[in-house]
């Protein structure tokens, strides 16, 4: 249920509604809004919907009360009509803060895995020079095979922090276990929950208690609705700074690693106020197709991209076939500048 305040409703009127919600044993979340405040009211059982709707609708300053039919309440655009802009960086020293959402596009780039100090810093400098505004790199790697490179772990986090100091780029890195959230937060500017962990509910809840923004990737076998429900777990714990990421889904098509669900970009943006980015690297699994899908996603309205870059893809310890070399990434960024200008979006400066 959402309570939509009148334009010009006073602070006191809003507070009176919040108090009434709490007195009814319900939880409230206020979305400040540009024009008017919208108060999401959580925990209403079906039998009491009509009673509460009438009670809140008659309070001074309330324009109307609406029932939200979607099962995801906090992620829903219904409860929060204005797009959310997620801020990344600014708590740990060294990073230039970045914004994801609104007219601004976010360009997140870097290696699949942090393999060494040299490889990471070389890549970070190259993506920064090409115009990326966030650095990615995995220290804890979810690999299909237990025999594959599992990431450098804690040492990888230290390398990422050094790369932030050298380049000023805020760092996005994956966390796989609830008990690692605190440690990773000491080094990263944004947490990533990967496709495989999208439905790891203890991890989602723990990330929901973090102060860091979260990049939540869609599981390859999960529907958009599942992604939004996973996001709801995070938001319900208090963390509202979530960016959703489409990274390809599993279909019968096997000429690429996954199938790019470009539909998901406008669909998620229709259902949710949260920023949506696209990852053409995992979606295609093939560096030849990354640029095409990157441009398609921006044309479809994505708020940014996450792209894997490696100076020597043939030597990469993970996902080499889908990594762009820095020169190719730079060319793509030039093309994205032209495209974004035509679309009225802003590339990072």
List interacting residues with Mn ion (CB under 5 A). Answer: 112, 319
Q: Is position 334 an interface residue for ligand PEP (rule: CB under 6 A)?
A: no
Q: Which of 37, 53, 164, 247 binds ligand PEP (CB under 6 A)?
A: 247
The H-or-E segment that residue 253 falls in is: none
Subset of 100-119 contacting ligand PEP (CB under 6 A): 112
Q: How far is the CB of 182 from ligand PEP (least distance, A)?
A: 21
d(CA 131, CA 346): 12
Q: How far is the CB of 38 from Mn ion (least distance, A)?
A: 38
- Distances in Å between the Cα of 42 and the Cα atoms of 25, 36, 38, 82, 102 are 10, 19, 13, 20, 27
d(CA 275, CA 213): 12
Q: Which of 61, 138, 170, 348 binds ligand PEP (CB under 6 A)?
A: 138
Q: Are 173 and 157 in contact (CB under 8 A)?
A: yes
x-marked contacts with ligand PEP along 9-48 as a string, rule CB under 6 A:
----------------------------------------
Q: Is position 194 an interface residue for ligand PEP (rule: CB under 6 A)?
A: yes
Q: How far is the CB of 80 from ligand PEP (least distance, A)?
A: 26
Q: Is position 215 an interface residue for ligand PEP (rule: CB under 6 A)?
A: no
| Cα-based torsion angle of the residue sequence 278, 227, 176, 89 in order, rounded to the nearest 10 degrees | 50
- Output the six-digit token pair for 298: 């921006």
- The residue number whose beta carbon is nearest to ligand PEP equals 194
Residue 71 touches which of ligand PEP, Mn ion, none (Cβ within 5-8 Å per kind): none
Burial of 94 (0-12, 13-18, 19+ CB in 10 A): middle
Residue 310 touches which of Mn ion, ligand PEP, none (Cβ within 5-8 Å per kind): none
Beta-strand relationship, 190-193 and 171-174:
parallel
Nearer of residues 26 and 262 to ligand PEP, judged by Cβ: 262
How many helices and strands (H and E) does the chain possess?
A: 11, 14
Q: How far is the CB of 54 from ligand PEP (least distance, A)?
A: 46
Nearer of residues 86 and 307 to ligand PEP, judged by Cβ: 307
DSSP 259-301: B--TTHHHHHHHHBSS-EEE-HHHHH-SHHHHHHHHHHHHHTT
Q: How far is the CB of 142 from ligand PEP (least distance, A)?
A: 6
Stretch that binds ligand PEP, among 35-43, 118-126, 188-196, 229-237 (CB under 6 A): 188-196
Q: Are 170 and 97 in contact (CB under 8 A)?
A: yes
The residues that touch ligand PEP, with contacts defined as CB under 6 A, are: 112, 138, 142, 194-196, 217, 247, 282
């Amino acid at each position: 249920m959402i309570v939509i305040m009148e334009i010009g409703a006073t602070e006191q009127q809003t507070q009176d509604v919040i108090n009434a919600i709490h007195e009814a044993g319900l939880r409230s979340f206020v979305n400040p809004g540009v024009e008017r405040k919208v108060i999401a009211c959580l925990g209403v059982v079906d039998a009491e919907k009509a009673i509460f709707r009438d009670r809140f609708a008659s309070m001074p300053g309330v324009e109307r009360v609406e029932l939200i039919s979607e099962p995801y309440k906090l992620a829903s655009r219904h409860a929060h009509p204005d797009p959310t802009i997620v801020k990344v960086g600014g708590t740990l020293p060294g990073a230039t803060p970045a914004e994801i959402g609104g007219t601004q596009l976010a360009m997140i780039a870097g290696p699949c895995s942090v393999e060494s100090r040299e490889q990471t810093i070389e890549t970070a400098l190259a993506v920064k020079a090409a115009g990326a505004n966030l650095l990615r790199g995995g220290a804890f790697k979810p690999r299909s095979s237990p025999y594959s490179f599992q990431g450098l772990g804690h040492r990888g986090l230290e390398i990422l922090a050094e790369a932030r100091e050298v380049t000023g780029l805020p760092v996005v890195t994956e966390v796989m276990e609830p008990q690692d959230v605190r440690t990773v937060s000491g080094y990263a500017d944004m947490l990533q929950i990967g496709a495989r962990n999208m439905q790891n509910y203890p991890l989602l809840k723990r990330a929901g208690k973090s102060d860091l923004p979260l990049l939540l990737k869609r599981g390859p076998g999960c529907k958009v609705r599942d992604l939004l429900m996973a996001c709801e777990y995070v938001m319900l714990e208090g963390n509202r700074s979530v960016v959703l990421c489409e990274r390809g889904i599993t279909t019968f098509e096997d000429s690429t690693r996954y199938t790019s669900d470009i539909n998901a970009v406008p669909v998620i943006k229709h259902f949710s106020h949260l920023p949506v980015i696209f990852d053409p690297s995992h979606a295609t699994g093939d560096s030849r197709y990354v640029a095409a899908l990157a441009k398609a996603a921006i044309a479809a309205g994505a708020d940014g991209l996450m792209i894997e870059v490696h100076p020597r893809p043939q030597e990469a310890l993970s996902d080499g076939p889908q990594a762009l070399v820095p020169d190719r990434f730079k060319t793509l960024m030039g093309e994205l500048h032209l495209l974004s200008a035509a679309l009225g979006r802003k590339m990072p400066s």
